[in-house]
Structure 1
Amino acid sequence: MKKLQTFYANLFLTGRLFAALSCCVVFFVLLFFFPWLGILPELAFWVIATLIIVDIFLLYRTNSGVFAKRHAPERLSNNDENDLGIYVENRYSFAINVGIIDEIPFQFQKRDVWFNTNLTPRQTKLINYVLRPVKRGEYDFGDIRVYVKSPLGLVTRRYNFAQAEILPVYPSFLQMRKYELMAISNRLNEVGIKKIRRLGHSLEFDQVKNYVPGDDYRAINWKATARQGNLMTNSYTEEKSQHVYCVIDKSRVMKMPFEGLSLLDYAINASLVLLNVALLKEDKAGLITISEKKGAVIPADRRPTQLNKILEVLHKEKTRYLETNLELLYNTIRGVIKQRSLVIFFTNYESVSALNRQLPYLKRIAKFHLLLVVFFENTELKKLSEEHATDVEGIYTKTIAEKFAYDKKLIAKELTKHGIQSILSTPQNLNVNTINRYLEIKAKQKI
């Protein structure tokens, strides 16, 4: 009984079968008007019935006519296109048409994940597709369902492959690897990272090398020049083992979404990329998260496991719904960071009054550390301010949008007035802008 239920549950009639039966019905109708058709309608019916039986026999004569399996990474990267694949194998002795449904997590809100392909006898194929998650967390993948049609195409058999699995979505480690490879090969300028001209040099000696035009003539090593007979110059490297901390605001101001991703996720992705570049520059990377109460605290270090430790912490962070306690942040920084460091504070301000509430504590932090405040440009308001107004309501909307955009610039000027560096960035350009500023600070030896 159970086998019979399974048989009916996985058997589907195709459009080709309904078309054939419709033609058969038409034959029977015409028989009333044209008796000379004789037994042709009945003969057509039995031919169709016979083909249905043959088709069912072809599809059901084996229990494993096809095989399918999902190929997925161990974890997905947030806000990146992650490559997945479905391996499918035809074990029939004839060509088949295959339709595949992969039950992807509900977070993607996709109802049309359908792949159609043809397979020759014993052929295998890998069908690739991409998914772009926009929220960290755990994503439940369901089963793979394969719908098979023989060359007759009158019925379809469904195969169900149980492959339920849970994949975690981590902060954007694909972007991190991309910037890491470019930093190692000195090709960061390909993604918009500027080359900063170093003014002077640090005190960390690197090597003695041949002089080339453009080198600082003040660094010429006259003793080495006399020994070699060629102009030799001292080469210096950037100072190492400097402490770089990313402080991430988890309060309600970071809940705002842009292109499906919250500001908190943009800040987390940028922090991960920046701290990875800092480790490649042989600096020490640390992390602090804050809201109305203290979050995660990872002291600065440059051990090989430091980045994985930061990644695991950032994976679990979520926005909260109260305002940030800047006094608590100040006390945390004073208690954790024991030497002058670069502190990059990712937050968001929508008005000057919001900044003024926190400015006293920012000024205190800036007395002991080099503070860089990173906040976001509202791209939607910018679009509204650039649109042409056609009526009174449009003029009012445009004026308000321009006012808020102007407030953002006032916030940056106010921070600069108190000796606090700032970055006003669109969410999309956050990675590039923060890395540029970090390299600029390193080159000018401000830490």
Structure 2
Amino acid sequence: MNASLQIGFAIGSVAVLLGLMALIRHGASTYGLSAEVQRKLIHIATGLYALSWPWLFPDRWPAYMLVGITLIVLIVLRVSRIAKAGVGATLHSVDRRSYGDILLAVAVGLCLFLARDDLIFYVLPIAVLTLSDAAAALVGGAYGKRVFHVEDGVKSVEGCVTFFVVTLVIALICLLMMSTLPATRIITIALIVAGFGALVEAASWRGFDNLFLPIGILIVLADTMHSDLLRLFGLIVIFGLTLLAFRVLFARLGVGLHVSRVNVTMIFLLLAATSYQHAVTPILALAIHIWSRQTNPSEDRFPDLDMVAGLTLASIGWLVIGEAVGWNAILFYGMTSMAFAAGLASLALATAPVATRVAGLAVTVFALLAIRLWTVAISTDTSGWAGPMWGATVATLLLAILPTSLWPGAFRKDRILKLTFLSLLLPFVSYVYATELFGLLA
């Protein structure tokens, strides 16, 4: 297929999407379709179409162009007048805040990029996102009786069970058709994928599952596809024990079950995506956040969920950057998580006496640098990285500590958003400098 035809498919796809939205909007007024049904019809249609992309676009760049155009269209559809009265109403008539439409497009593009030529890493996550998510929402909405709270909404046990069953079937089919693994490993991996996916679905909020679910499944697949049965069973045991431990611990700290599930999901992904030593500082940042929210709470409505969302998005961002550039980004990700931890520790100490604050921050910085030294020392795969970069590391910690120490009041609102910016700024600049220095972006 030549380039012109692929571009034509990409542009035509957006036109078809708008036409489909208009058709569903018309059908909604004719047959009385609920806002949730309208959203899920669009979700299913776009997801099924996205499954054809690896074959429809032999060259990947037209697919990425399609994702970019779609994102622009979706942002335009969020304009108030269009979102409530035009075709955008098919996506934005539900009575809750959600970024699911935008995150769905981002997830498709990222999965296509990260999967490369290994199609199971694209097909399985997008199939689960398309079918399991829609089935859970529709079954839960129609038959859900046993409900639990998520952020300011509710989910149902019936919906989660539906998600698990549908995901299990999808995973079994994909693994049987697209891998050469033995049956026992296929069944075990399918159970892990279904269990992890159901937890993400149960813990999702504001449509973040449209991003976290497929990327998370891709990461879990990449971690388990080449593991033996003993390690797979070990992962299941560790996952279950961690979920139980966090439920008990967070209950004692006055943190809800939803936040407990979200944190377990985050930690499981960290351990699946990277070596354990590189997961220490982000896990430490999550722990320090619990401390800071008690000694110096923010005015944000859902600070715990914001923390997980900020750290997860930063993690995914560094994963994608590292894959795109081909230059190891793990130590720059470590800088980011160290800055999160330092900034949160600074805010946690903001109400303490000056001497206590100085001593506490000194201990925090020393501990973070010691963890950094240990991480660098035991890391065996040092190909494609620029070394520990102590100057940039110390500067990143100072950038996180100084504003939060001098102006803690400025972090009462949008705390995690501001910390995310501070934590990413110097690591990103350092990464660009390092890659240019070694000629990788030339």
TM-score bracket, normalised by the shorter chain, equals: under 0.3
**More helix by percentage:** 2
**Higher Cα Rg, which structure:** 1
- If the length of structure 1 is used for normalisation, what is the TM-score? 0.26
- If the length of structure 2 is used for normalisation, what is the TM-score? 0.27
